[in-house]
Amino acid sequence: MTKGKLFVISGPSGSGKSTVIREVFAKRDNLYFSVSATTREPRHGEVNGINYWFLDTQSFKKKIAEDGFLEYAQYVGNYYGTPVEPINEHIQLGEDVILDIEVQGALQIKEKVPDAVLIFVFPPSFAELERRLRGRKTENEKRILDRLETARKECEKADIYDYIVINDKVEQAAEEIMAIMSAEKCRTKNRICFIREV
Amino acid sequence: MTKGKLFVISGPSGSGKSTVIREVFAKRDNLYFSVSATTREPRHGEVNGINYWFLDTQSFKKKIAEDGFLEYAQYVGNYYGTPVEPINEHIQLGEDVILDIEVQGALQIKEKVPDAVLIFVFPPSFAELERRLRGRKTENEKRILDRLETARKECEKADIYDYIVINDKVEQAAEEIMAIMSAEKCRTKNRICFIREV
């Protein structure tokens, strides 16, 4: 059986990345969404294994020591990390794995898994990004300006990604991600064993 | 406007490459099929600019001297070549160009156009390749064995291609080629200018 592949998707807040990923999951089977682990307390309604894997600090640190994370970071006093085990399991089962992570985490993963495919989701323009962030109406001016500044910094690192998807229309962006997933399976390095067998 | 890309497709006789390419043209717009030039006489029904560009030897040699071919070769006393001009024109117009060529020609093109994407179409097995060749019933035993031997040699060079498409079902193989074409447009090197502009 052909093994699955790891697709790492990043994009600034307002790029519409999550909506695009949902569209991909709605259209494709044989996909697994990587769930992060965290030491922060579950919020109301959050389910273990769906929103996060909720771990206590001791278990989290033990997992770090055992090299159980593809990447991890500390943020506002809590740990966040990508558990390697479920990803490997699903890849062995022939499923593709999608991992939604910010730029620093993506860089760490590329180092550990050179075979991972990195996709950067981009808004059609900065004006549109700003419009989307303001449209949420849940954030104050300072927060919006912070997010725009972070977006600018993240976009500067887009050149380390393998692919750039411009999310003008969600359907089109999802199609592009699915095309990338299909094309990557055809890469010679992934199929040359087949040729040799024949 | 985004420029088009050059896709070079090879595959042994019996791989079903031509049928797959026809299917891609039936489903996609904005595509140009590169027509070869030759010094051989047109056969009955062959149309200049459709089947081949028919040139006399003097014109062909002049074009060689002017670096007017992406590749060329001599075969049974006649010249065959890939004119560079129509390819460049269509790429500038934003159209993708498909070029159907054997392995040696593909290697020459990859050297001249490092940006070209090379796709190798493969039959699902050698047994199937043999079945397809025998199914044609137009060729004698020696010719079939020759073709099988050539196919084996060509497949050994498949690792210089960027992608391998296994033509088990024509529709599926065409979908894979279209996915490759879409994905290649998303490659960071092709889109990073967009990011910089933004």
Tell whether the model's pLDDT for residue B78 goes beyond 90: yes
Residue A41 per-residue DSSP state: P
Across the A/B interface, how many CB contacts are shorter than 8 Å? 95
* pLDDT over 70 at A117, yes or no: yes
- Among residues A140, A110, A120, A132, the alpha carbon closest in space to that of A11 is found at A120
Bigger pLDDT: B191 vs A42: A42
**Mean pLDDT to the nearest integer, B88-100:** 95
Q: Which domain holds residue A138?
A: 6-197
Instruction: Report whether pLDDT(A192) > 80.
Output: no
Average pLDDT, chain A: 91
| Residue A130 is assigned to a structural domain of this protein | yes
Q: Look up residue A137 and give its two tokens.
A: 């109406």
Cα–Cα distance measured from residue B53 to residue A155, given in angstroms and rounded to the nearest whole number: 47
Q: What is the pLDDT of residue B138?
A: 73
Confidence label for A106 from pLDDT (cuts 50, 70 and 90):
very high
Nearest residue in chain B measured CA to CA from A193: B159
What's the pLDDT at B142? 87
CA within 13 Å, CB half, A23? 16
CB atoms within 10 A of CB B148: 18
Per-residue model confidence (pLDDT) at position B196: 66
Any residues with CB less than 8 A from the CB of A49 and at least 6 apart, and which?
A35
CA distance A54 to A40: 7
Question: What pLDDT digit, counting tens, does each position of A127-165 carry?
Answer: 888 888 888 777 788 888 888 888 888 888 888 999 999
pLDDT band at B1 (very low <50, low <70, confident <90, very high): low
State residue A127's pLDDT score: 85
Q: Which chain B residues are Cβ-neighbours of A182 within 8 angstroms?
A: 175-176, 179-180, 183
pLDDT of residue A78: 93
Strand order in the sheet with A37-38: A53-54, A37-38, A78-83, A69-75
Overall number of domains in chain B: 1
Kindly state whether residue A1 falls inside one of the protein's structural domains.
no
Do residues A98 and A181 lie in contact, with contact meaning Cβ atoms separated by under 8 Å?
no
Confidence class of residue B22 from pLDDT cuts 50, 70 and 90? very high
DSSP H or E stretch at residue A47: none
**What confidence score (pLDDT) does residue B195 get?**
65
Q: Please, which pLDDT band fits residue B132 given cuts at 50, 70 and 90?
A: confident
Q: Which two tokens stand for residue A105?
A: 């985490």
Percentage of residues of chain A with pLDDT beyond 70: 96
What the block records as the tokens of B53 is: 């560009």
Q: What is the mean pLDDT of residues B121-131?
A: 86
Residue A28's pLDDT is what?
A: 94
- The residue in chain A having the minimum alpha-carbon distance to the alpha carbon of residue B122 is A195
CATH number at A86 reads 3.40.50.300
Report the pLDDT value the prediction gives residue A87, as an integer from 0 to 100: 95
Is the CB of residue A57 less than 8 Å away from at least one CB of chain B?
Answer: no
Torsion region of B40: left, alpha or beta (phi above 0 gives left; psi -120 to 50 gives alpha): beta
- Whether B125 has a pLDDT exceeding 80, the answer reads yes
Per cent of chain B over pLDDT 70 is: 96
Whether B21 is covered by a domain: the verdict is yes
How sure is the predictor about B2, in pLDDT bands with cuts at 50, 70 and 90? confident
Whether residues A122 and B176 touch (CB distance < 8 A) is answered with no
Return the higher-pLDDT residue of B144 and B172: B172
Tell me if residue A144 falls in helix, strand or coil.
helix
Percent of chain A with pLDDT over 90: 67
Distance CA(A176)–CA(A173), nearest Å, equals 5
User: Would residue B137 count as lying in a domain?
Assistant: yes
CB contact at 8 A, A174 and A27: yes
Mean pLDDT for the stretch of residues A58-69:
96
- Residue in A163, A166, A195 closest to B194 by CB: A166
3-class secondary-structure state, position B55: coil
CA distance B1 to A18: 28
Alpha-carbon radius of gyration of chain A: 18
In this prediction, residue B84 has a pLDDT band, given cuts at 50, 70 and 90, of very high
> What is the model's pLDDT at position A111?
92
Residue B1 inside a domain? The answer is: no
CA A38 – CA A118 distance, rounded (Å): 23
Element (H, E) at B67: none
Give me the mean pLDDT over the B14-29 stretch: 93
Examine residue B186 and state whether it is found in any structural domain, yes or no. Answer: yes
pLDDT, mean of residues B139-163 = 86
Q: Please give the average per-residue pLDDT across B105-120, as a whole number.
A: 94
Q: What spatial distance separates the first Cα and last Cα of chain B, rounded to whole Å?
A: 15
Give the mean model confidence (pLDDT) for residues A103-117.
93
- Per the CB < 8 A criterion, the answer to whether A100 and A12 are in contact is no
Average pLDDT, chain B: 91
CA-based nearest residue to B125, from B90, B107, B151, B161: B151
Q: What is the ipTM of this complex?
A: 0.85
Contact state of B178 with A179 under an 8 Å Cβ cutoff? yes
Q: Decide if pLDDT at B139 tops 80.
A: no
Helix, coil or strand: residue B119: strand
CA–CA dist B8, B115 (Å, integer): 11
Does residue A96 sit within a domain? yes
Cβ neighbours of A195 in B, within 8 Å? 122, 155, 158-159, 164
In the beta sheet, which residues pair with residue A163? A119, B187
Q: Which chain B residues touch A119 with a CB distance below 8 Å?
A: 186
Mean pLDDT of B55-76: 94
The answer to the question of residue A62 being in a domain is yes
Q: Which residue has the higher pLDDT, B90 or B141?
A: B90
